Amino acid sequence: MGVALAGLWLVPGTAQAGAQQYAPMSAAVRYALSSAVVADRAPPEPRFASMQEKIDWLAAMAERLPRRWKPDYQTRIEFLKTVRFEADRAGLDPQLVLALIDVESYFRRYAVSHAGARGYMQVMPFWADVIGDGDASKLFDMRINLRYGCTILRHYLDTEGGNLFLALGRYNGSRGRSEYPDAVLRAMGRWAFGSGTGVPGPATAPAVRAVPAAPSLPARPQP
């Protein structure tokens, strides 16, 4: 990729990432992934330890979202609730997901990368065939995009035995290179929440949480 391309990840508004590579999967893996698609349209309501944490987290994160793409407060809150819900569902730290979106699309719903990846989490269209109904246009739907992105990252984490560096490389299509994982990990600093950040609330959770009971993804499928 080189230093020049790595620098583009720091330029707001540039969609550079999301070049996930298709790899043959067992029927069990495909079923586990497809079971994670959005089946209902009810507004997600994420979990918080307390009402105070909910207020503090939403207020802190809403203040950091770029106003150009999320101008009104209600839109920011709806987006953040969905991020938190989908991150928790996949066993991921919401701050990790926000950092990945920051690097991937700079929070642009209709971002399309040079590789053809779409939406907030820059999901490649082939995933619509692998875990969806084949309609890649749905990748611009906020909740579907976030569900797919979080599910895919969780799958890559399981594939890599929990190694976040390698999983982020897989997500970007640059496994083993440092530029993209380093960019996402740096971005996590901008989305930190809790002790030592000047923001009220509990200490930041681990980047990878315990996987929720449903949907259960395979522990470690063969690459």
Which residues neighbour 74 within 8 Å (Cβ) at sequence distance 6 or greater? none
Backbone angles phi, psi at 208, to 5 degrees: -120, 120
Which residues neighbour 214 within 8 Å (Cβ) at sequence distance 6 or greater? none
On the question of a cis peptide bond just before residue 215, with omega within 30 degrees of 0, the verdict is yes
The one catalytic residue among 45, 53, 104, 179 = 104
**Phi/psi-derived region of residue 215, left when phi > 0, alpha when psi is between -120 and 50, beta in every other case:** beta
Query: For tokens 């583009």, what's the residue?
Result: 8
Residue 45 designated active-site: no
Distance CA(71)–CA(40), nearest Å, equals: 27
Is the Cα torsion angle 31, 36, 37, 38 positive or negative in sign?
Answer: positive
CA dihedral 80, 170, 21, 127 (to 10 degrees): -30
Distance CA(141)–CA(28), nearest Å, equals: 27
Enzyme catalytic residues: 104
